[in-house]
Amino acid sequence: MTHILIVGRGFTTFNNYLTEHGYTYTILRDAATTKPGHRPRPGEIVADFTTWGTLEQAVKNLPVRPDGVVTIYENYVRDVAQIAHLLGLPGMPLSAAQACTDKALMRQLFAQAPKPISPAFQEVTTWDQVAAIAAAHQFPLMLKPANLVKSLLVMKANDLAELQANWQHMTATIADVYAQWAPHASPKIVVEEYLSGHVYSTDAFVDATGVPHVLPHIVDYQTGYEMGYDDNFHYSRLLPSQLSATDQEKLLHCAALGCQALGMRSSPAHIEIIMTPAGPRIVEIGARNGGYRERMYRLSLGLDIYANALYTAIDHPLELEPTRHEPVAVLELFPHETGTFVEVAHEAELQTLPSLEYYKCKRTPGEPTGKSRDGYKFSAVVILHHANPAQFARDLAFVNDNVRIVTA
């Protein structure tokens, strides 16, 4: 049996997939994610991830030598690279893993690509540095953490006053946000030019020789700004793409250049791209598959994302041919204003939609909830899928027009 080492913490759907498909696995769990008194489950080993020395010792003491090393979570990409190297297994160079988890390093490598593929940027530590950048560039400008996920604390500024307010908000809250979502990372902030255009993404699987196998099935996004929110988050993800064939070709070429610029190997990749008037520009590349992609690609195309992610970890041939083409959408719902959660408007009607594949509300009445720019994650998630495109379109329109998070 092929044995997989899952680094950081497990994910129930992925764990079940492994068992159902004949894999065995060990979870090397980060002690920082466990509660006091936690008792490891069978196949789970709790380890200290704070230094490489303590983690290395835990790996050397594993009861079963794995055939591949994976993670579902961005925070552990560098750990996976180090562990794979230690065990002599397929994996990314540490330099590539570091770049995939740090937008400042990532942008530096993108700048070496044979053509422009990313925005201009600069790492900053003081307001004077931010102000100097603002004086040399046109607004809007983006202020964002270099090594967080899920659009946390990502803010757009249309003028200097708004940029200064964003900076003050960032510096006042960043320590707490990192403590909650990236406890092993040191806060790092970048300012970059705002890219005008729609957001798209695709996933790829980079083989052991560094060749990126980019999926030609592009996911269209709608951002919070496009849906009328004063917040920069991904409101919806949709398949199939409405992008023109010519632009799809340009986007896929840009995605491949980005993976190669980072020096990725033996890894999944999630590439977010904005189609600007000057062509595609990469927002970021993660060394993992995108959120919800396992379900989206399975429902829409019949593709097995988990299988191919595992194949990259054990250097097995990929299986990327679709078996169907059906529409699917994932919507993450945030409130317009940070406050106290009241309800999900039109929740009862939502739950009767023929296209509803999955729905979960993450908040209870009276609980704090808010914008991604304030450090909150989404309040509810909706997944729609239907073999009939007309029915799917009607149900998606209902959600867009009616379903929202109500706060007080």
**Could you tell me if 181 and 202 lie in one domain?**
no
- Does a structural domain hold residue 251? no
Instruction: Please give the pLDDT value at position 184.
Output: 78
**Could you tell me if 85 and 156 lie in one domain?**
no
- pLDDT confidence tier of residue 100, bands split at 50, 70 and 90: very high
Helices in 61-142 by DSSP H: which ranges?
77-87, 94-100, 103-110, 127-136
Q: What is the torsional sign of CA 269, 293, 179, 337?
A: positive
The one-letter code for the residue type at 37 is G
Distance CA 160, CA 154 (A): 16
The one-letter code for the residue type at 130 is V
The DSSP secondary-structure symbol of 376 reads P
pLDDT tens, position by position, 272-297: 999 999 999 999 999 999 989 999 99
- Does a structural domain hold residue 114? no
- pLDDT confidence tier of residue 375, bands split at 50, 70 and 90: confident
- Does a structural domain hold residue 105? no
The percentage of the chain sitting over the pLDDT mark of 90, rounded to a whole number, equals 83
- pLDDT confidence tier of residue 141, bands split at 50, 70 and 90: very high
**Could you tell me if 180 and 204 lie in one domain?**
no
Q: Tell me how many domains the chain contains.
A: 3
297, 123, 277, 135: which is closest to 204 by C-alpha?
Answer: 297
**183 pLDDT exceeds 90?**
no
Instruction: Please give the pLDDT value at position 403.
Output: 97
- Does a structural domain hold residue 362? yes
- pLDDT confidence tier of residue 185, bands split at 50, 70 and 90: confident
Token representation of residue 319:
């299986």
pLDDT tens, position by position, 303-332: 999 999 999 999 999 999 999 999 999 999
**Could you tell me if 318 and 362 lie in one domain?**
yes
**Could you tell me if 187 and 207 lie in one domain?**
no
What is the mean pLDDT of the segment spanning 139-163? Answer: 88
When the pLDDT of each residue in the chain is averaged and rounded to a whole number, the result is 94
The one-letter code for the residue type at 400 is N
The pTM assigned to this predicted structure is: 0.85
**Could you tell me if 228 and 361 lie in one domain?**
yes
Q: 177 with 148: CB under 8 angstroms?
A: yes
**93 pLDDT exceeds 90?**
yes
What is the mean pLDDT of the segment spanning 90-101? Answer: 96
**41 pLDDT exceeds 90?**
no
Instruction: Please give the pLDDT value at position 117.
Output: 96
**Could you tell me if 167 and 210 lie in one domain?**
no
Task: Give the CB-side neighbour count of residue 39, counting CA atoms within 13 A.
Answer: 1
**Could you tell me if 228 and 362 lie in one domain?**
yes
**128 pLDDT exceeds 80?**
yes
**15 pLDDT exceeds 90?**
yes
**51 pLDDT exceeds 90?**
yes
Instruction: Please give the pLDDT value at position 200.
Output: 97
**14 pLDDT exceeds 90?**
yes
Distance CA 207, CA 221 (A): 27
Q: How far is CA 325 from CA 62, 232, 298, 301, in A?
A: 43, 30, 10, 5
pLDDT tens, position by position, 197-256: 999 999 999 999 999 999 999 999 999 989 999 998 999 999 999 999 999 999 999 999
**149 pLDDT exceeds 80?**
no
Instruction: Please give the pLDDT value at position 40.
Output: 86
Q: 236 with 175: CB under 8 angstroms?
A: no
**Could you tell me if 45 and 145 lie in one domain?**
no
Instruction: Please give the pLDDT value at position 120.
Output: 84
Query: Can you give the residue range of the structural domain that contains 7?
Result: 3-99
Instruction: Please give the pLDDT value at position 251.
Output: 98
Task: Give the CB-side neighbour count of residue 303, counting CA atoms within 13 A.
Answer: 25
